[in-house]
Chains A and B, each alone.
Chain A
Amino acid sequence: MSTDPFTTSPYGEPVPAGSPSVLRIVWVYPDLLSTYGDRGNMLILGRRAQQRGMPVELIEVRSDQPLPTTADIYLIGGGEDGPQALAAQRLITDGGLHRAAAQGSVVFAVCAGYQLLGSSFFAKGAKCAGLELLDLHSDRGPSRAVGELAGEVDPRLGLPPLTGFENHGGRTHLGPGVAPLARVTVGIGNDESSEGAWRGKLLGTYSHGPALARNPALADLLLRWATGISALPPLDDTWSDRLRAERTAATRVA
């Protein structure tokens, strides 16, 4: 899919040193964690930055490549149990994401990617060690959570309601070191009450796949975190606004 309107480095190409004005977005392990249109988040962030005149570099890093440690935003997608466990192992061994997070990079993780940021999660019936970047752990829920997900976002983040689609078998329990991203109004999220988690510039959600397509304000929050620019010029969000309105109405009826 190299024909989306960006210059994407091929897998594994080293991040060019210098050029601090380029916003560098890393998609972590698309070979393992890309089940539900996860590429969308990278494309949306890249486009919204470009529309504000920021040069963007999109970097896809495969799981057999070292993770660059100096990028601005790291995206971690959803995946099946096996690839999720493998991704966690490789990220722990690699250590790059820990270094990047410690240096203040933004990390946005969805679904399986969100779970593996915690201390532990379950994959294929076994408890697996997570990255311990967020104070949370996940276990198996009584049923699979599949369907629309909506919630009122933590007011400190200043965002409109979250809307998305979830599809996961896990439940996530937050520790005191993180805040829930949202209070659930539709769907399951972490535990039918809270949804997602955030701390500093690390944010995870069960709103899976191209979560930012329905939540452009969340995309802009990540861009503000990454660039330090607090007043991003507004964009024409006619179509995502219509999509949000249509989804909100649909979940209200259901």
Chain B
Amino acid sequence: MTGGGRVIEGIADGVAGQSTVARRSRRIAARRQSGNLARVTDAKMPLRAKVASSVSRTAAALSRAAGRGDGSVIGGWIGLKIDPELLAHLAAGRSIGLVSGTNGKTTTTRLTTAAVGVLGPVATNSFGANMPTGHTSALAKAGATPYAVLEVDEHYLPQVLEATEPRVVALLNLSRDQLDRAKEVAMMAQLWRAALAKHPDVHVVANADDPMVVWASVDHTAVTWFSAGQRWHDDSWVCPECGAPIERADEQWWCTGCPLRRPEAQWVVEDDGVVDPTGAWHKVVLQLPGRVNLGNAATALAVAAQFGVRPTDAVSRLGGVASVAGRYAQVVREGRNIRLLLAKNPASWLEAFDMADEAPTLLSINARDPDGMDTSWLFDVDFSPLRGRQVLITGDRAYDLAVRLEVNDVPFEHVRTFAAAVAAVPVGRLEVIANYTAFQDIRAELDRVN
């Protein structure tokens, strides 16, 4: 969920991003005022923060009432204008988990929220607004909760670590995403590495299968490693530490030039379940499709364990998550059981093919601002898993996709509208795989299904 908010929320970067010594010391004082862990109350906030928090909630409500959106960005933006320290004030006293990475963070945040929910109320940015404005809005709206689980845009992890001083941070993966805008993958890993070095107390839950994530985390004092598998390897053939080639065999990987290698994982996906650090295996029954989501579940259990939640208590809650901001949602239209899958970058397209049934499939591609304007990545995706299925294509950039599919020997049919796609397939399952704004367009046609 990188795209949607990045553009809109960019306005607030400076507000949330500043960090001077003076401000930091003020904030530490504010944090002391706000008192005991797990007991945040409005009464203990400084007046300015109280006003900001209240205005933030009102603005969010107004935005929703005016039909301008879900209010998860604008409320936080106004709140941070009034009190730049608002996020820190709202975070103080809560036990917080952050979830970041290129892919899977919205879903993993939802699963983690469900798992930590065993302990009590959990604040979360469930609309996927994953920058400081979204966090501010989510915490203000939730009121006093002992826990929070926040999805964080990977670019903003340093600021959010600074502002929220979390207990746990989960690092999922790093791969190419929105190439015309995003930081290069190795630079992102460096950004994370530097950010973690400034926060030695945070416990890191990190993906042992992703060399970039491992390099970002490996020098940290407290790390729990999970293994969820990694389908996409094309951003980690070169060691971020020394530049030598990285070799892979089965699930192992190692640098041929320095000691960087896959650490042993304590939480591992095995069959249709997850093995915990004691070696116990827990069956995981999810409503969300694919092995990718089993990996997200393993991550959620590992994060929840840092809050003291036993996996045996958490697993049943994971099965309660049915769809995440429209992703994986199933809608019946004219006898077609339509399932929505979001795929934003090469790695997530590979995952979507894995999740999708062998059924007629609609692909929709846009290249509007939140998607990134460059469609080159289409050639980083191997579409051959779709051979043998009825493939339909649509979206602003359907012709880019057409040229790619032709080269890939995947027959397809171009349709101009979503309705035409529905009409073109037989009664039964229709899988829809779309990138960010294309996904939102189709979701709007389906009455903003969640």
Residues of A within 8 A of B (CB): 1, 3-5, 31-32, 34-40, 43-44, 47, 62-64, 80, 82-83, 86, 146-147, 165, 167, 208-210, 213-214, 239-240, 242-243, 246
Contact = CB atoms under 8 A, between A and B. Distances in A.
B374 A36 contact: yes
Given A4-B408, A240-B403, A39 B380 contact: yes
Given A4-B382, A213-B403, A242-B399, 10 more contacts: A4-B407, A4-B408, A31-B237, A35-B176, A40-B376, A82-B186, A167-B179, A208-B376, A214-B403, A240-B403
B238 A39 contact: no
B191 to A, nearest CB: 14
B243 to A, nearest CB: 6
Interface residues of B, number: 30
Given A36-B374, A37-B376, A243-B402, A5 B245 contact: no
Given A208-B376, A209-B376, A40 B407 contact: yes
A3 B234 CA distance: 16
Contacts of B407: 4, 40, 43-44, 47, 213
B379 A146 contact: no
B184 interface: yes
Interface centre among B186, B237, B375, B407 (most CB of A within 10 A): B407
B39 to A, nearest CB: 47
A82 B237 CA distance: 13
28 contacts: A3-B382, A3-B384, A4-B408, A4-B409, A5-B408, A31-B237, A31-B238, A34-B234, A35-B176, A37-B378, A38-B379, A39-B379, A40-B378, A40-B379, A40-B407, A86-B243, A146-B181, A146-B373, A147-B373, A165-B374, A165-B376, A208-B376, A209-B376, A209-B379, A213-B379, A213-B407, A243-B399, A243-B400
A239 B408 CA distance: 13
A38 B409 CA distance: 18
Given A36-B179, A165-B374, A239 B379 contact: no
Contact of B374 (A4, A32, A167): A167
A243 B400 CA distance: 6
Contacts, number: 87
B404 interface: yes
A209 B384 CA distance: 20
Contacts of B406: 239
Query: Top 5 A-B pairs ranked by shortest CB distance?
Result: A37-B379, A40-B379, A209-B376, A243-B399, A37-B376
Contacts of A209: 374, 376, 379
Contacts of A239: 399, 402-403, 406
B185 to A, nearest CB: 8
Interface string B377-408: 11110101000000000000001101110111
Nearest to B245: A64
B379 A80 contact: no
Contacts of B181: 146
Nearest to A245: B399
Nearest to B246: A31
A134 to B, nearest CB: 23
A210 B379 contact: yes
A41 to B, nearest CB: 8
Contacts of A64: 245
B401 to A, nearest CB: 9
A80 B245 contact: no
Contacts of B186: 80, 82
Given A5-B409, A37-B378, A246-B399, A167 B180 contact: yes
Contact of A80 (B184, B384, B403): B184
Interface in B216-249: 234, 237-238, 243, 245
A62 B379 contact: no
Nearest to A1: B382
B232 to A, nearest CB: 11
Nearest to B376: A209
A37 B400 CA distance: 12
Contacts of B404: 40, 210, 213
Interface centre among B176, B379, B384, B404 (most CB of A within 10 A): B379
Nearest to B176: A35
A43 B383 CA distance: 13
A209 B179 CA distance: 11
